[in-house]
Amino acid sequence: MSFPKNATVANRCRVSGCIAILAAGLAAGCDLSGILDVDLPGRVAEEALEDPDLAKVLVNGVIADAECAWNTYSAAASHHSDEWIPASGNLNMRNWGQRKIRADDFNLGQGTCDNNYGVYLPLHTARFQAKDVFERLNRFDPAKVPDKVKLQATVRAYGAFAILAIGEGFCEATIDGGPLMTPAQVLAEAEKWFTEAIDLASQAGDADILNMARVGRARVRVDLKKWSEVIPDASAVPPGYVKNATRDTNRQRRWNYLFEYLVSTAGGFNRHGSVANHFRNLTVDANGEHTQGSGTPDPRVRVFTNNQLAFDFSTIHWTTDKYKSRSDPLPMATYKEAQLYLAEAYAQLGQLSNAVAIINALHAAAGLPPWAAGATATKEQVIAHVIDERARELFVEGGHRLNDMLRYRGTQFNIPFLGEPGSIHPNGVDQTGDTYGDTTCFPLPAVERSGNPNVP
């Protein structure tokens, strides 16, 4: 499929989203002959989607798009963060590891879920489809769609995660061909969607989507420093809650890309990165202090090497067993991350004992000693410990590390990017002697800027 050179991401989403909906319907064994019987080659007639009988097919299409986007974003954000050192012989994938992603990078702006780390287009496709399907559901007669409210809650929650990723990962963005938006403005939009998802899921009695949206809104409110508003959302998430983006081996867009491009030790897989030195052999000492190579091994960051060479045929490949196959799911919303949002909010509000109690509970769950110094730690020390706790607890999950690197940039809790002073590669070159770029947040893709008259 090709698009006009000046087509905005939103224009492309309309076509891509229709195809995703058709694919979801066919996979579900639905009779879509009515949709396909049109006189527009390569396109789906708009009116064909105004059918209440297709409500669940439409929603499944939204879920598929959102999971696809979350998969590519999770892998790209992890690779771009300090969790991996660059180790690829592929130019594009090496650019991700070396912080050389520019606005004109094809994969960043125009890549799909079948193109390495297609990021911007899949995220906007998911966002647009969620908006479009929500509006279609709104027009459907509730008598013909008895679970209409539940379906609307679902598309709001999944769509909100796409907006969340755009707000966290990109330096600036635009929605539906509108003007430039700051990350805070994008995140405020995600907060609105999560709020509506919470209200609708509560009405429908859907505990799964309700908790998914609670975790998402707590995450957004941490990003926006709405500390007191984080607490009720994060506190309400039940122990053990997990919402995953499903993966399988049917098509490339369904593969777990963290496994595919970074983790796997199997022959035929491209090892484009190697777990960074400071995430290897992590331990916790008898006093609960986070250490490296001195104390109890931290089971949350299980890292190893088979002494294989990575794809650059120079770097030893270090990897993790967190993802074991292409079909392993990816976390989208979990109890453990909600607990870390709660700990951070408590620490920021000066309720240090509450924050330390959460840290110690996480240690206990992992079989690790409690943090003894937490009893007398300062606010700054507790915040720093929460950040490092998240680095371990949520290692290579959901873009969390990149988000912490960006939102604490330039503060006393600054986490340097690889190539910067204070990192394991402080002189601007990687372990092979190649230079790093200067990308931190992802730039607005050039294709969006050139195709959107509202963006200078």
Give the rounded distance of the alpha carbon of 282 from its chain centre. Answer: 24
**Selection from 435, 395, 455 nearest residue 173 by Cα:** 455
- Angle 24-27-33 (CA atoms, 0-180°, nearest 5)? 80
pLDDT at 167: 98
Q: Which two tokens stand for residue 12?
A: 């492309």
Could you tell me the pLDDT band of residue 8, with boundaries at 50, 70 and 90?
A: low
pLDDT at 36: 35
**Residue % of the chain over a pLDDT of 70:** 89
pLDDT at 28: 40
Q: What is the DSSP string of 40-63?
A: STT---GGGG--GGGHHHHHHHHH
pLDDT at 116: 84
Q: What is the mean pLDDT of residues 407-423?
A: 98
| Cβ atoms 319, 305 nearer than 8 A | yes
Where is pLDDT greater, at 4 or 357? 357
Report the SS3 class of residue 305.
strand
- d(CA 364, CA 314) in angstroms, rounded, equals 39
Whether the pLDDT of residue 343 is over 60: the answer is: yes
Could you tell me the pLDDT band of residue 19, with boundaries at 50, 70 and 90?
A: very low
- pLDDT tens digits, 362-385: 999 999 999 999 999 999 999 999
Q: What is the mean pLDDT of residues 41-65?
A: 82
Q: Which two tokens stand for residue 196?
A: 């509506």
Q: What is the mean pLDDT of residues 297-317?
A: 97
Q: Return all residues near 302 (Cβ < 8 A) that are at least 6 apart.
A: 320, 321, 322
Write down the mean pLDDT value for the chain.
91
Could you tell me the pLDDT band of residue 48, with boundaries at 50, 70 and 90?
A: low
* pTM of the entire predicted model: 0.90
Q: What is the mean pLDDT of residues 377-398?
A: 98
| Cβ atoms 118, 72 nearer than 8 A | yes
**In angstroms, what is the C-alpha Rg of the chain?**
22
pLDDT at 320: 98
Q: Which two tokens stand for residue 89?
A: 């012989």
Could you tell me the pLDDT band of residue 50, with boundaries at 50, 70 and 90?
A: confident
Whether the pLDDT of residue 292 is over 90: the answer is: yes
| Cβ atoms 425, 85 nearer than 8 A | yes
